[in-house]
Structure 1
Amino acid sequence: MNKKYLIFQFFIILIFLGLGVMSAQQLIDPDRSNPYNRIFVDTDNFGSSYLEELEAGYPKLKTDSLKYAALNDLAYYTHTRDLNKALEFTRSGLKMVREKKNILWEGRFQITEGAILLRMEQLDTAFAILQDAKGKVKKQDLPHLFTQLGYVFERNGDIMRAADYALEAKRIGTELNDKRAIGQAYSDLSNLYWKYSDFDKGLEYGLMSVKFFEGRNLNDMEYDFVLYVVGNNLLSLKRYEEALRYFQHANSIGKRYGFYNNLCDINISLVDLYTDLNQYDEAESAGKEALKYAKLIDNDFLMMRSLLALGRLKYFQGKYNDAIHTLNKSLEVATPEFGDKFYLSQAYERLSRAYAKSHSYKKAIDAFGVYDSLKKLVFIENSNKRMSLLQTEFDLADKEITIQGMEERIKKQSSTQTLITIIAGLLLILLMVLYVTYENNKKKNILLEKQNEEKEFLLKEIHHRVKNNLGIVSSLLDLQAEKIKDPKIISAIEESRNRVYSMSMIHQKLYQGLNLSSIGMKEYLIDLSQHISDSYGGDGRISYNYDLEEMELDVDSAIPMGLIVNELLTNSFKHAFPKNVKGLISITCRHITESRILLEVGDNGIGLLEFDKEDDAGRGFGTQLIDLLIQQLDGSIMTINGLGTKTRMEFDLD
């Protein structure tokens, strides 16, 4: 099982490292619209080298506020690796803002300075600086400030005062809807209840904190810490497998961002976990890791606790003399300014047991006496009542916030109901107006529909009469042709009759169709070609190949196109297939683009068509007519001669 967890942890670390390497976006870019992507606020998409990037980039920022923000972030997160360097960055920032007399940023840098100093065991100085910052910063900065003040009292062993500050931070965070502040407050309470040995309550608050941090979708140091705190409560409840999962998750985040302080905490707890499971080799390995990070950050508090965990391990291994040596070494690291009575009490309690096992009973009694006095300082008289009262205050604060929220919702609902009533009245009036308008429009529409039907009937009647009149003209031409003997004149009359027929077909299609303004060109061209074939006796001798697209054209476009096709087909029948030979005529009509049409007529006859006999100008009437019609359509024409003749035309239609 442990090997599986180690493999899982290894892959998690690889994924995080890969994400950090793949991150292409720089944290600081002065030429960008957002020059500084604030770490753990705007983004967490970076690797452990982010502090080096901040250190190199913050001087390039052009506005003071952005420069201060980047430097303050650099100082605060550097304390997770190097406390002295972090303090240098902070005091450099304080010098800058004091020269500019920027009180707000002076207060914010002081909060960072206090956070660093309390971790350097300078608790009184840290408290004074944090108190001074309180009157300089904005309300949104107070949850972070109260969190640091809570840590000062926690390190002094005053769990009650620490809890008071956590409660105040949570109250302000709730007012501001600051998920990070609320999550941090629940995290601190979880840790305090763990120290108070109320592990169920500690786990409850820890899981609530995890929920708030995960709602931010950002992995930061505080989220990493609460995972560790939840793991501690689970470990104390002997839920080892669950505790290990939380420790491993926290470990992967800590390694990605280089949170040495959190990594040391996690490995200290892993020493205890593996010790409880009698997995002493794993406990030894975790202890070495804890010592490594404590040395890297050069922090006596972490070093003392690492040795304390290793002393407990030696005790459970039965190596009592080694345990005594390691625990005494732990107490040597804890100087008189150490302050944290909770861990000092644990060290003396374990030392007392180790002395007893090695039969040094007087030393065991002395160590136990120190443990007992420290415990009384941490868990003062009536502390149970105080913790219960604290819990009541905490619950009441939640309920007050809930009640305030409900009152606000009731007010909003009341306002909403009034607004709805007004809107409903207006809607009723509007509906009445709309109903009257609808009835009037209905009457108008009936009248308009009747008028449209009458107009449509009249238009159809006009097209019908135009078609009939053109039919009469065609018949007159037939009668005239019967009285004439000259073949050329008869041919000319026949061509004119076909021209008239091509126009009459347009009007026939209009009054027979559903649309009085346009003609379906596919059906029209097929009917026209069949008529020309019948006129020249081409049935059974001349066949057609159609490539016709379904399209609707208006009368002004359809009539010229019909006359052009009529002329081209007439000349194909007259000249392309002499001596009654069989042949093929192809007709193409389709869109090239949305507004441009291709019209193409070709045959496989004897070659270039000899249009009407040339007139004095050297051009036949058919050629002149086609040119005029092409101009009317604003088109172009090209004749291709090869195996037959093909005439290609393109038109732009409105």
Structure 2
Amino acid sequence: MNFIPIISVKNHVRALFAMTLFLVVNYGTSAQSKENPDVLKNKIAKAESDPKKVELLLALSDYYLTKTGEDKSDLDNADRINTQASLLSDRLKYKLGKGKSILLGAQIYREKGDSENALEKTKNAIVYSKKNNLTELQASGYAELSIYDAELEQKAKYKQMAILLYKKAGAKEQQATVLKDLGELYSSNEQPDKAEPFLKESLEIYKAIKFKSLQGLYNILSEVYTQKGNFSEALKCGLLAEKIALELHDNTLQLSSIYNHVALVYYYLRQNEKTEEYWNKALKIAKDYDDAEYIRTIADNLSSLYIRQKKENEALKLIKEMQDNYPTSNMERIMTENYLLFNIYRIQKNNAKATFYYKKMVAHYGENADRNGNTFAVLRSFASYHYQVKNFTAFYPIIKKLDSVSAAIGNNNIRSESHLIWFKADSSRGDYISAINHYQLYKSLSDSVFKGEKSKQINSLQIEFESEKKDKNINLLQEQAKVQQIQIQKDTVVKYVFIGSVIVLILFLGLLYNSFRLKKKKNEELEIQRQQINEQNELNKKMLIEKEWLLKEIHHRVKNNLQIVISLLNTQSAYLDNEDALMAIQNSQHRMHAMSLIHQKLYQSDNLANIDMSWYVYELINYMKECFDTDRNINFVLEVEKTYLDVAQAVPLGLIINEAINNAIKYAFPENRKGEVIIVLKNIGESNYELQIADNGVGLPEDFENTERDSLGMNLMMGLSDQIDGTFEMKNDNGLKITITFTRNTEFEVTAENS
């Protein structure tokens, strides 16, 4: 089952959320520019005692309140200056200034940690604004009031009241900001269907007023679409958020949050390299700001990626590093790491430690994960745990609930993974008809997420985003060229003026002018040729993209057809009692799966010509281990160099490995004898490679030449070795050792190395 980060749909950046609150509730200063404090002080000193001076004092107080860092002296300055603004408003009978000062005072108390006085002052600001018909200030009061209530629906109610009042006052930017906050509130509580309409309405208003800083809103929309399993829209919004942030030179923690959500989309799309790239960028920014909680958030996400990549030890190391360097008392953070540790030990089949953390999670989230959020992640880990310990009584209610809640929001990615483990559970219990149904559902749902137009759309988004980056670089070079051209023109003009001042050189100037005309004509001809070349390049690019998509679709269909045949053979085996027939079907399934992996890798990667054999052998051995349940008595050791082979060599080599491992599992270690199987693929000079499959089992019997040389497996391995122009050698060497040497095809060598 695909592992997911528990914090992926729950936590935003803590500092970012606080920043959002200030945008909403600081009505008293929202219209003020963030001027240099020295400039503000100079204006205050020169200002007369009038409402303008009150506004300047409020702006200076807000500067100290929202200043980066947590210096107590900044809050004391904000409080002192706000008191001056309040007293001056009283003398002037400036009601708006007085109301703003009351609300700003509430925010200062909140920043000091005095929630009781902050809440009282917020209520006073609302009463004052109602009494004096200050509609916009009243809206800001309700937005501030929503911070203090713990109940979700009450928070939402206060925000909706603020939205209506901002709309009444015509404050469109504030209205859009609170709509965004309301959408974020529902999103953080795993209610994406409620969040989406508010966020879309916010976006519509922001665009209408030509508001440019939309990166935060697109970031939240990316999270909402991720929760709903709509990864094409999630990636689109995430990349838009990144694009806008970079254009506006936004290098704050908000950019870290954007990178985090883009990484999460790539995570669900199983693009591990992109996932790691974006999470590392997010982690760097978080470390630059020394934000301990968010550093741990990103680190926990990276741990989740390591777990999915079977790098449990790296995940454990990273968790330990975070606990040592960034200690926390935050219960949600502690439970997140308990969740990670639970899954690490579950995957390592350390059931004792897994059970220890399982009990901790049940105490926090409940047996059905119905407390404290994170429903999907916790339910899936519980289902995997119950399947692993063969507690099917607990497994089936959990997996049914997971399918139900994911279906309710249309998240086919989660549903597909749920039906895969459901299929495994039914298969292990002998319920093959039900197992086949769940496997078909898994394939159908998985394909709906990762194939066809959606997959094409996702890849198009990435291409478009990368193209825009390149276009910006080209535009920059063109601007530099224009500056150089202008400078050249200026120099030429100076030269012409100088030459023009000398009468004797008139003839020379005429010849120079004629030369210029010829050059201009030549440049026009060159420009026409350049445009024609560009058009041809664009046509070639489109043809190349179409060819790549066609090849991917072919590999995808081949893989799907092989999977269908495997499923049909699996179904047929349920009706057979003959052990030899069952064994033959099982061998055929393994061979077809070995070929299927090749085509699966080809359509999922950008390299359509070559296969990474280190990845392939790892996946094939994992499949064999799952099929034969060999973890208890056979240890597999892989020493496979990162080697790229084309399909013509990868498929025969995969079938040879499949046959050799199959024979080792069945015959090398009789009566559950423990042993070791070593698979080595290495370069032995230039383009020559050697494959070894060796075990320390019972080896070949003495009469093997006479009895087994003509078996299907042996003939298949020897025939496939001939097919790749290799040599096949088999001998007893403290067990059986099979050696194949061959020469790698180098036709696509450059492509493989660049992939």
TM value normalised by structure 1:
0.49
Higher-Rg structure is 1
| Length-normalised TM-score, structure 2 | 0.43
